[in-house]
Amino acid sequence: MRRSGRQGDHGQVTGSVIARIDQAFIDLPEVRPGSEPYLRGLAECGWSEGVPPQAILRQVVVDVAAGLYRERADPPVELLEFSDGAFDVLFDAAHERTILMHGRSRPAPRNSRDQNYHRGFPGRAGFDKGHAMSHAQGGREGGPNYFPQAPMVNRRLSSLGALWRDIESYLAANPGLFCFVRLAYPRTASTEIPAEVEYGIMAEGQLRSAIFPNS
C-alpha cells in the first residue's frame, strides 16, 4: 500500500495525514469516507471553507452522530452528553453504550497509563479493549472511552490497523486538533459491540473521517 506519510521511529506519522486518509480510501476497500454528512451540516450553518469555529464543528458532529444513531437504534433512546474528564461523550443511557467521543487531542503525561485498571477491565472474547481516544492523545482509561474493538483495526496487524494507529499517532504528536470517534451499532440490535467505527479529524484546515469495520 502506498503511504503519503512516513512513520518515524517513535510511531509518529510525518507528512500529510489528510493525504494518508485519502489514499486509504483508494487502497483499502474496507474503509469508506464518512465526512459528507458533517460537511453538509457545516454548510447548512453557513460555513463552506476553512476551519469552522469549535462550537459549530462540535455541535454539527454531535447532531450528525445522534441522528445516525436514532435511525438504527430500537426505542427507547435516552441520549446524554457529559465529559469523562478528557473528552466529551454522547451516550445512550437506555442501551448503556457510548455513541461518540470528541474533543481536542492533548498531551499525555509520561507513565500516566493505569495498566492495572486496563488489565482488570472486563473484555470480550475475540475483541481488544479498544480506546475510542487513545491514551497517547489524551484519552482516559475505562468507562465510556472503552469499547470492544477488532484486533485487526486496533493493532498494526493489517493495513486497517496501520491507518487507525497512524491517525492516533498524528493526534498524539499534534495536540489541540479536533477529533472524534463514532461507534455505529448493528441496526435494532441491543449490543455493546459496534459494527463499524468512524474516526474523524480536523487537520490541515480540512475535515476527514474514515469508517472502519469492527469485525
DSSP state of 64: H
- In this prediction, residue 134 carries a pLDDT of 95
Provide the pLDDT for residue 51.
Answer: 86
Question: pLDDT higher for 121 or 152?
Answer: 152
For the segment 73-102, what is each residue's pLDDT rounded down to a tens digit?
999 999 999 999 999 999 999 999 999 999
10 Å CB burial of residue 36 (0-12, 13-18, 19+) is exposed
Q: pLDDT value at position 55?
A: 94
Residue 7 pLDDT greater than 50, yes or no: no
* DSSP 8-state code for residue 29: T
Please tell me the predicted confidence (pLDDT) of residue 3: 38
Note whether 6 and 15 are within 8 A (CB).
yes
Would you give the distance in Å from CA 38 to the centre of its chain?
Answer: 14
180 by DSSP, 3-state: which?
strand
Q: Residue 9: is its pLDDT beyond 50? A: no
Q: With contact defined as beta carbons under 8 Å apart, do 199 and 113 qualify?
A: no
Model confidence pLDDT, tens digit, residues 157-167:
999 999 999 99
Residue-level pLDDT at 123: 63
Contact 177/169 with Cβ under 8 angstroms?
Answer: no
pTM: 0.90
| Backbone torsions φ then ψ of 165, nearest 5 degrees | -70, -35
CA–CA separation, 187 and 131 (whole Å) = 23
Give the Å distances, CA to CA, from 134 to 72, 129, 141, 196. 27, 11, 9, 17
